[in-house]
Amino acid sequence: MNAARGWRWAAYAAGVAVLMFALWSLLWLVADLSAFRARAWAETWSHQAQQAAARGASYAPRQQDWSVAQAHAERAVRLSPANADYHELLGVIHELRHPLADIGDETARPDREQALLHFRAAIERRPTWPYVRARLAYALVRLDRVDAELESTLAEAARLGPWEPPVMLAIVDIGLDSWFRLSPAGRQVVSDTLVRSQSWAAGGRGQKHGDMVWERVQAHRKQALACSLLPMNDERNRRICHPDNW
């Protein structure tokens, strides 16, 4: 009798475990599908923005489309709140609501503040990922927050991804734009990253990424400043720093 009861309890427990696993799998599937849909919207907007820029125009998502993407991203976070990727994605969606708004724009502030919250949440859940720190840094700049948090974010991004091209690009882009508002320590982070970005062998993969970073230097019209930081024993640096090439 006791043995039979024990088997029944074991079977019951196994059934509950299977049911819980099935429920967890279903929630994970729905969350991942929602994130996929939100990400598809974000990638579509990015592609359309690039096409518009090539025509000398600008692009912003329609409010209806943005609301759909937001709903999908929020569902993913709600179903899987421990997932860093979903928080980062929702932060990106909030950032994309006002892509044409100026730095510090009050209309865009609520969404940009929400982006901050989700980028921070993503960092808490995956603290060694440098890319989300680059996103957080851009979000802070768009809120006109060149402060201690921005500097620590840039420093951590550089520490965690010193040779990651998109991370290096973000640090130099943000750092040169905010150069005169940074502390000496913050400037050193930017300077070290700039030097690394231009130190890769010419003609290789590093050359391509080095050129991308240098394009940001030119966009900010900071060639003279950048060249004062670069070592001139490198032939590439001597070439790009020659005034005739500005």
pLDDT in tens, 73-107: 999 999 999 999 999 999 999 999 999 899 999 99
Q: What average pLDDT does this structure show over 222-231?
A: 94
pLDDT of residue 203: 46
Alpha carbon distance 85, 82 (integer Å): 9
* Lowest model confidence (mean pLDDT) among 28-42, 85-99, 215-229: 28-42
Alpha carbon distance 55, 53 (integer Å): 5
Closest to 175 measured CA to CA, from 159, 158, 163: 158
pLDDT of residue 204: 57
pLDDT of residue 64: 95
Q: Is residue 25 scored above 70 in pLDDT?
A: no
Q: What average pLDDT does this structure show over 98-118?
A: 95
Cβ pair 200, 206 in contact under 8 A: yes
Alpha carbon distance 98, 108 (integer Å): 6
To the nearest whole number, what is the mean pLDDT of the chain?
89
pLDDT of residue 146: 96
Q: What average pLDDT does this structure show over 147-153?
A: 97
Report percent pLDDT > 70 for the chain: 86
Q: Is residue 244 scored above 50 in pLDDT?
A: yes
Tokens of 162: 């010193």
pLDDT of residue 57: 87
- Helices 165-177/184-197 angle, 10° precision: 140
Phi and psi dihedrals of 204, rounded to 5? -100, -170
Contacts of 117 (CB under 8 A, 6+ apart): 91
Q: Which residue has the higher pLDDT, 72 or 22?
A: 72
Q: Is residue 202 scored above 50 in pLDDT?
A: no
pLDDT band at 10 (very low <50, low <70, confident <90, very high): low
Report percent pLDDT > 90 for the chain: 70
- The pTM of this model reads 0.85
pLDDT band at 177 (very low <50, low <70, confident <90, very high): very high
Q: What average pLDDT does this structure show over 115-129?
A: 98
